[in-house]
Structure 1
């Protein structure tokens, strides 16, 4: 899954913190601050120029609370293709002025207006079309797609120079029963604009749509001068159309493609049938708002591949909801009813998607294992208001706790989530990133309950982050997710969700980084908790790791009641490695109270270890070294030292 880039709100001093946080909250952004001069930010950085360059290169929208000139000088060497550059907005430190610098028609102007509204400030939009007409023709309103964006510059230049425009709106004509009659198409209505003071009028509507909001209201309400003989043409149509000279073609999102399929149907077959459906009905694929189906197909790859092919979301309805559409179906089927509980999937899903005011414009067609139908709505279809999404579960590891140790992917997944599930301490570690999310807090010992809850929330169509400390796949919740898929214990909806696991820095890695490089050669991890693993199995693993001379990271070394296991491990390992072997004790890594120290294996005291400590025991080859600043480090040679000492020739390749 590709995650939409979250705006980065960049501040350079603590004096700008309140303003930056206010902006970030208003636009759903992430607060980035200079580490040396700010605190309590979502992301801290060391060098401003490098950080801004990295954000820009990654395509992140940037809102910087700093001088516009300084921001321009930093980004100037990176400017290349204006069509691919992200939005860049500068905000004055007093919050009075908001200036879109780059990507004006690709989000910056709208971003600036949103920020200005939140701050009661001035959005200094300077692009000609926005200033003169109050609209950017190459950035249509949500629910519309511009078919020929390359022509927008010439059209806008013509209008700015004084030309007038004519507006054409067309929609499918319906034959008997609401479907497009054979051989019929759409009759375009060429309309002229009323005087600006008169406002939108029914005469600007397609035939048969009187009394409804104009399909092109965002154009009609602009300051563009319309006339019947305008030299510029603005066309709004859900049919394919090649643009003529000085014409822009906009496709409104008014169509829903309903689909049904056999289990594990071919994606290629499904895409081919979907394209055939659009061709047969002479409708533009750009006007598709969603692909819809029954909820038992929520995990069907073919359905999602069709949606991805057209760049629209997939939405799903229950059999009961689809059965409500039975009176409007043109091809009801008792066989389908017996199979899934409704009389039609493709037609029913298309009709459910457009609602009671919509019509079926292409009855069901089918191939070997797939069915398809198309319905049309008189108004823009918002896919977020129809059916439900498949539901997504992000299983994320937030690392030991420090913001700088949380991966950008994890931060993006948490930001994209509607709900957060986890142990309360782990959710607290997210800090401001959790703001605005619905929290579902669980006690430490409720692992399976929290995983089931997270999966069921996703089964409702929500986007959920299951938050783990360290790495989600190392003694954490990722394994429980797949165990529930395997063994059951969750609803059918929860069993069909999408899952993504994102790695985090484990306590093992964090401890190693703090003390040097103890993992320079073979290592293993062993949990000393016998809650899930029989003690005799743990003993066998400790013995095997000792015999194999592995560096060992012990997780769950002690608890309030369990105090003997670590002592056993120490004594057993002393049979295989010297008492001087370095042992790293790392407590509260990346959090207040962090304490990392090294003791000899022979002197390891169980009372020095608590539940928040990871214990890393070196191998017989691990050693310490003290640098000039007096700091002692632990490292494990990569294996060459023993070979060299035995006189073995070491070959290197240059």
Structure 2
């Protein structure tokens, strides 16, 4: 991970030592240093009190999927405490610091503290991405209580899953949201998605997952279209879609939704970034994000 090490002036020597053993970049403290580090680094190590670090990080937080991992190292270099993104690199970084400078890693995430697996760890072990990040809360909670089954599905495939099922997908970065009118043909779905991908300059192999509303789970044209594209299709609940605020107006209000294509992207995209706002291709609407 690209790592920044920030230290208060009186602890610069200690900060530089940590940066050196990690191969990170040392940043002397100044008022906006955390803001700059959040924008440019995957991990931040703060050599200072946890209170200072937390107060500086708090206004910058978005989601654990976008924010950098943050580890606080006590000024005497005795403790390395993950405070943000424990399952997203901070725990491992704290352990690495411990090995290299002798600090004690203070791990507080429940699954790791209790010796249980977590969704993020399973995904990392198989080189996959979590297609529906919101699922990790209930699934990790279930992992604390007992064994959670893991199923491998060969593709092309369609996955219909509840919000308490984590879907891990190998490869790809982009999320494609699709809406369509009832009875839309397979060929129309394929043509629309390919046109949208060309507009965005993205190849089909770069798509992590396709998503639509659960209200379209009985649409064979949509299902078969995604299968023809070699993709995985997730059906999202109305609750999941309506929790988002899409930038474009939509006629999906007629079926009780704020939208389909754009909210589907915003629900699953790690960065929450729309790179192609919804475009209409005949009977099909497509949006793309990451």
Corresponding residue number in structure 1 for 2:33:
51
1:241–1:50 distance in 2 versus 1, CA, 3 Å: same
CA–CA distance in structure 2, aligned partners of residues 109 and 147 of structure 1:
22
Cα deviation code 1:151-191 (max 9, x no counterpart) = 1101112332x24322222446xxxxxxxxxxxxxxxxxxx
Corresponding residue number in structure 2 for 1:579:
none
CA–CA distance in structure 1, aligned partners of residues 227 and 153 of structure 2:
17
| 8 A contact 2:204–2:229 mirrored in 1 | no
CA–CA distance in structure 1, aligned partners of residues 4 and 203 of structure 2:
40
CA–CA distance in structure 2, aligned partners of residues 283 and 164 of structure 1:
29
Answering whether residue 7 of structure 2 is matched by residue 8 of structure 1, we say: no
Cα deviation code 1:479-527 (max 9, x no counterpart) = xxxxxxxxxxxxxxxxxxxxxxxxxxxxxxxxxxxxxxxxxxxxxxxxx
Answering whether residue 6 of structure 2 is matched by residue 76 of structure 1, we say: no
Corresponding residue number in structure 2 for 1:279:
227
Secondary structure of the 1:88 match is: strand
| Deviation for aligned residue 1:146 | 1.4
Answering whether residue 137 of structure 2 is matched by residue 153 of structure 1, we say: yes
TM-score by structure 2 length?
A: 0.53
CA–CA distance in structure 1, aligned partners of residues 158 and 25 of structure 2:
40
> Higher helix proportion, which one?
2
Corresponding residue number in structure 1 for 2:111:
129
CA–CA distance in structure 2, aligned partners of residues 100 and 12 of structure 1:
18
Where do residues 183-582 of structure 1 align in structure 2 (5 Å cutoff)? 239-244=157-162, 246-253=164-171, 268=198, 279-280=227-228, 282-284=230-232
Question: What is the aligned length?
Answer: 193
| 8 A contact 2:64–2:85 mirrored in 1 | yes
Cα deviation code 1:174-222 (max 9, x no counterpart) = xxxxxxxxxxxxxxxxxxxxxxxxxxxxxxxxxxxxxxxxxxxxxxxxx
Cα deviation code 1:235-262 (max 9, x no counterpart) = xxx84423236322222459xxxxxxxx
Give 1:144's match in structure 2, choosing from 120, 124, 128: 128
1:244–1:51 distance in 2 versus 1, CA, 3 Å: closer
1:89–1:245 distance in 2 versus 1, CA, 3 Å: closer
Answering whether residue 12 of structure 2 is matched by residue 28 of structure 1, we say: no
Query: Structure 2, unaligned stretches of length 5 or more?
Result: 173-194, 208-223, 234-269, 271-290
Query: Structure 1, unaligned stretches of length 5 or more?
Result: 35-47, 173-237, 255-265, 286-310, 312-654
| 8 A contact 1:23–1:115 mirrored in 2 | yes
Cα deviation code 1:42-77 (max 9, x no counterpart) = xxxxxx333234433656632111111222233334
Q: Aligned-residue CA RMSD in angstroms? A: 3.9
CA–CA distance in structure 1, aligned partners of residues 203 and 90 of structure 2:
37
Secondary structure of the 2:150 match is: strand
1:88–1:164 distance in 2 versus 1, CA, 3 Å: same
| Deviation for aligned residue 1:28 | 3.1
| 8 A contact 2:142–2:148 mirrored in 1 | no
CA–CA distance in structure 1, aligned partners of residues 130 and 204 of structure 2:
25
| 8 A contact 1:240–1:282 mirrored in 2 | no
Cα deviation code 1:454-489 (max 9, x no counterpart) = xxxxxxxxxxxxxxxxxxxxxxxxxxxxxxxxxxxx
With CA pairs under 8 Å and 6+ residues apart, which has the higher RCO, 1 or 2? 2
User: Which is higher, the Rg of structure 1 or of structure 2?
Assistant: 1
TM-score by structure 1 length?
A: 0.26
Secondary structure of the 1:247 match is: coil
CA–CA distance in structure 2, aligned partners of residues 78 and 249 of structure 1:
28
1:245–1:33 distance in 2 versus 1, CA, 3 Å: closer
Give 1:120's match in structure 2, choosing from 78, 96, 102: 102
| 8 A contact 2:158–2:227 mirrored in 1 | no
Corresponding residue number in structure 2 for 1:478:
none
CA–CA distance in structure 2, aligned partners of residues 155 and 273 of structure 1:
29
CA–CA distance in structure 1, aligned partners of residues 7 and 90 of structure 2:
18
1:136–1:22 distance in 2 versus 1, CA, 3 Å: farther
CA–CA distance in structure 1, aligned partners of residues 143 and 151 of structure 2:
17
CA–CA distance in structure 1, aligned partners of residues 83 and 37 of structure 2:
15
1:127–1:68 distance in 2 versus 1, CA, 3 Å: same
CA–CA distance in structure 2, aligned partners of residues 76 and 85 of structure 1:
11
| 8 A contact 1:66–1:93 mirrored in 2 | yes
| 8 A contact 1:16–1:93 mirrored in 2 | no
1:106–1:117 distance in 2 versus 1, CA, 3 Å: same
CA–CA distance in structure 1, aligned partners of residues 204 and 45 of structure 2:
44
| 8 A contact 1:99–1:112 mirrored in 2 | yes
CA–CA distance in structure 1, aligned partners of residues 204 and 143 of structure 2:
41
| 8 A contact 1:9–1:30 mirrored in 2 | yes
